[in-house]
Amino acid sequence: MPRTGVFVCWCGSNIGGVIDCPETAAAASGFPGVAFSTDYKYMCSEPGQNMVIQAIREHRLDRAVVASCSPRLHEETFRKTLVRAGLNPYMLEMANIREHCTWVHGADIQQARIKAVDLVRRAVAKANRLEPLFESEISVTRRCLVIGGGVAGIQAALDVADAGHEVILVEREPTIGGNMVKLDKTFPTLDCSACISTPKMVAAATHPNIKLYTYAEIEKLAGYVGNFEVTIRQKARYVDHEKCTGCGTCWEKCPTRVPSEFDAGIGQRTAIYIPFPQAVPNKPVIDREHCRYFATGKCEICAKLCPTGAVDYGQEDLVLTEKVGAVVAATGFGLFDWSRVYGEYGYGQYPDVVTGMQFERLVNAAGPTGGKLLRPSDGATPRTVVFIKCVGSRDEAKGRRYCSRICCMYTAKHALQVLEKVPGASVFVFYMDVRTAGKGYEEFYQRAVNNGTVYVRGRVSKIYQDGERLVVRGVDTLLGRPVEVDADMVVLATAVEPGSGAAETARILGINTDQDGFFQEAHPKLRPVETHTRGVFLAGACQAPKDIPDTVAQASGAAAKVAGLLSSKWLSTNPMIATVNEALCTGCFLCVPVCSYRALEPKKITERLPGHPPREREVAGVNTGLCQGCGACNVACRAGAIEVRGFTNEQLLAEVDALCQ
């Protein structure tokens, strides 16, 4: 017979102000198995916990029910209390009579009292059937994988590496640097983006603890926290980087010209190329799709001119694996393709309607115009420039409903840059709101206004080309009238969206994405860099639109989490996970696809039944490192062979029975 103790907490007036806690405790004393019950003002406080410990010792209790707040808040607290009293920590059941009762039923005290007693009865019924559970330990590979070589990935990699752990940094582009290195200047201090990001790129590439893979993608992640195995595909560069010195002869002489991705399509590059002069590594790759040799079998100019014979048309993709204990996803963001849907802005047909990223390249000293602001159509200096914010953001009909968070600030920066580069220029910004939540941001926006930017509150309805000018037709809602601007150039602040391939990365990593496709953090406030998959962390805009300061901060946060995880050789595991009764398992494997964590897989057992010869058959096996104890398999199992420890069928049914009394 169990000896259960019931401890009813007042939580000050949160619970005690609504129901009569002594009365609830008294009611509990009559439930089967209850050897002792009491109440206290704050059970989680030091005297409250001591009271629990003393009661366990005095009344020889072997399990406890704490009726208080959500287990999310204090289950850990009271488990530790049980340990201090000499009990197994899992001999605890919480009854949430605050969030589930007094907070929501304060208006009907009578019903609240009844419900509180019901909830305690349920908890006692379960507690009576609890079994001790034991944590086990798994070993930890003290290395970290960082996916994405933008500023988030670089920062996370550097911080983990500085903490003394080896880092595998994987970037799919030919260079690291990500989006940040494409930018001209960064708000609100206007420091040159390349000047602050290229030293970080070099630091990452030369750090003794960082192993860098560029032009490479992850294909598979197996294993579990502390013991992952990642499969990386090193794409063929057709240039042997061991031999290549980065002299530049090949890309200077290559006859093929294609739009440069790095220049957001407004500049050109060759087929054998480095994306930009300060690329890391500073060695080229061949774009097979556009290379004349691969298309026609003729050319080979690069191979002929290469002084070290590094060009190797026969190179093939390389697939390799690395073992790591933790993963940081830092895959960044993409930009909304406005030209598909914004017909009213010309579907991308007007050359002088450009995106914010294209504008960055147009004013960048290393960009296609050498930093001179010239409009794409005829190379003339634009004297009137119109900026349109929220193109694709806050647009449920055509784009995305959320705010992209960075556009207000970079548009203010662009406005200032036009005013600086083109004396006497007119700059208009069409906006719905100006959002400047950040240190020094509002002041920066005011600077744009003070320097002469005209902010017009309202959206632009249509842009059309009329001779040399673009007519921008919008509204000034403060004026309550439609307005028109004759513009030489229009810049669209396109929405930030998940990077291309984000969904695939999420699938490989076994993490969730939110409704907008960004990677889902474990808790929006309290666990912002963790995911629901233990050992996988998030950094930067892959989690949500973010500016550089926030990205760097989150990257360092993720790195701190990784360093914490890798600080020990051993890791204790949660014992409340699924377990398979192999005798009952029919091997249908319906449980395998329902598991979000890929914790279930078929395994072979040899079955010995009396009177039968031994036979081999397949049953479901649980990977204890991967299982998070969510219970999805439990529900799917038709044979009733799977149970989650701490939530067994018997325990759950006892709870239901108790509630239905």
Binding part of the chain for other proteins, among 82-90, 116-124, 339-347, 480-488 by CB under 8 A, reads: 480-488
Binding range to other proteins, per CB under 8 A, among 83-91, 204-212, 390-398, 477-485: 477-485
479 binds other proteins (CB under 8 A): yes
3-state SS, residue 54: helix
Name the DSSP letter for residue 248. -
Instruction: Tell me which stretch binds other proteins (CB under 8 A): 475-483, 530-538, 545-553, 625-633.
Output: 475-483
What is the chain's Cα-based Rg? 31
The nearer residue to other proteins, 333 or 431, going by C-beta atoms, is 431
Shortest Cβ distance from residue 462 to other proteins (Å)?
11
Buried b (16+ CB within 10 A) or exposed e, 151-177: bbbbbbbbbbbebebbbbbbbbbbbbb
**Angstrom distance (rounded) from CA 159 to CA 555:** 8
Which of 104, 478, 583, 584 forms a contact with other proteins (CB under 8 A)?
478
Measure the CA angle with vertex 580, ends 575 and 583; round to 5°: 145
Shortest CA distance to 555 belongs to which of 330, 225, 405? 330
Nearer to other proteins, 439 or 481 (CB): 481
Residues 223/229, Cβ–Cβ less than 8 Å: yes
User: To the nearest whole angstrom, how small is the minimum distance from the Cβ of residue 437 to other proteins?
Assistant: 16
What minimum distance in Å lies between the beta carbon of 409 and other proteins? 16
Residue 314 or 480 having the CB closest to other proteins:
480
Q: Count other Cβ atoms within 10 Å, centred on residue 587.
A: 14
Q: At closest approach, how far in Å is the CB of 449 from other proteins?
A: 6
Backbone angles phi, psi at 558, to 5 degrees: -65, -40
Instruction: Please count the residues of this chain forming the interface with other proteins, following the rule CB under 8 A.
Output: 19
Can residue 476 be called a binding residue for other proteins (CB under 8 A)?
yes
Q: Is 454 in the site for other proteins (CB under 8 A)?
A: yes
Contact stretch for other proteins (CB under 8 A) within 219-227, 265-273, 470-478, 594-602 = 470-478
List the helix and strand counts (H, then E) for the chain: 18, 34
From candidates 76, 99, 135, 484, binder to other proteins by CB under 8 A: 484
- Contact status: 450 vs other proteins (CB under 8 A): yes
- The Cβ-side half-sphere exposure at 35, using a 13 Å CA radius, reads 17
Nearer to other proteins, 384 or 417 (CB): 384
Q: In what order do the strands lie in the sheet with 454-457?
A: 353-355, 489-494, 384-391, 426-431, 454-457
The binder of other proteins chosen from 298, 439, 481, 525 (CB under 8 A): 481
Residue 202 Cβ, how far from other proteins at the closest point, in Å?
A: 43
Tell which residue, 279, 256, 287, 259, has the closest CA to residue 182. 279
Give least dist CB 454 to other proteins, A.
6
Pick 460 or 506: Cβ nearer other proteins: 460
Give the CA angle between residues 264, 269, 272 to the nearest 5°: 130
Among 286, 327, 456, 495, binds other proteins (CB under 8 A): 456
Q: Which stretch binds other proteins (CB under 8 A): 31-39, 162-170, 450-458, 525-533?
A: 450-458
* Interaction of residue 459 with other proteins, rule CB under 8 A: no
Binding to other proteins (CB under 8 A) within 339-398 occurs at 384
Tokens of 646: 């701490």
574 contacts: CB under 8 Å, gap ≥ 6: 135, 628, 629
Report the run of H or E that residue 473 belongs to, with start and end. Answer: strand 469-476
Footprint (CB under 8 A) of other proteins, residues 80-119: none
483 near other proteins, judged by CB under 8 A: yes
For other proteins, the closer of residues 90 and 428 by Cβ is 428
| Residue 482 engages other proteins in binding (rule: CB under 8 A) | yes
Q: Of these, 33, 246, 452, 631, which contacts other proteins (CB under 8 A)? A: 452
Tell me which of 207, 253, 421, 457 binds other proteins, using CB under 8 A.
457
**CB nearer to other proteins: pick between 408 and 485:** 485
Q: CA–CA separation, 500 vs 502, rounded Å?
A: 6
Cβ nearer to other proteins, comparing 295 with 479: 479
Q: Are 512 and 495 in contact (CB under 8 A)?
A: no
Please say which residue, 149 or 458, places its beta carbon nearer to other proteins.
458
Rank residues 297 and 424 by Cβ distance to other proteins and give the closer one.
424
Cα gap 326→228, rounded to integer Å: 7
Q: Applying CB under 8 A, which of residues 261, 312, 337, 486 lies at the interface with other proteins?
A: 486
Q: How far is the CB of 387 from other proteins (least distance, A)?
A: 13
Under DSSP, the state recorded for 491 is E
Q: How far is the CB of 476 from other proteins (least distance, A)?
A: 7
Going 407 to 413 to 414 to 415, the CA torsion angle's sign is positive
Segment interacting with other proteins, rule: CB under 8 A, options 260-268, 294-302, 345-353, 472-480 = 472-480
Rule CB under 8 A: is residue 449 a binding residue for other proteins? yes
Min separation Cβ 547 and other proteins, Å:
22
Here's the x/- map for other proteins, 414-433, by CB under 8 A: it reads as ------------x-x-----
CB closer to other proteins out of 252 and 468: 468
Residue 38 CB neighbours (<10 A) = 18
Residues 6+ apart with CB under 8 A from 578: 599, 600, 622, 627, 629, 631, 633, 634, 642, 643, 644, 645
224 touches 264 (CB < 8 A): no
Quick one: which of 342, 1, 416 has its CA closest to 189? Answer: 416
Residues that bind other proteins (CB under 8 A): 384, 426, 428, 449-450, 452, 454, 456-457, 473, 476, 478-479, 481-486
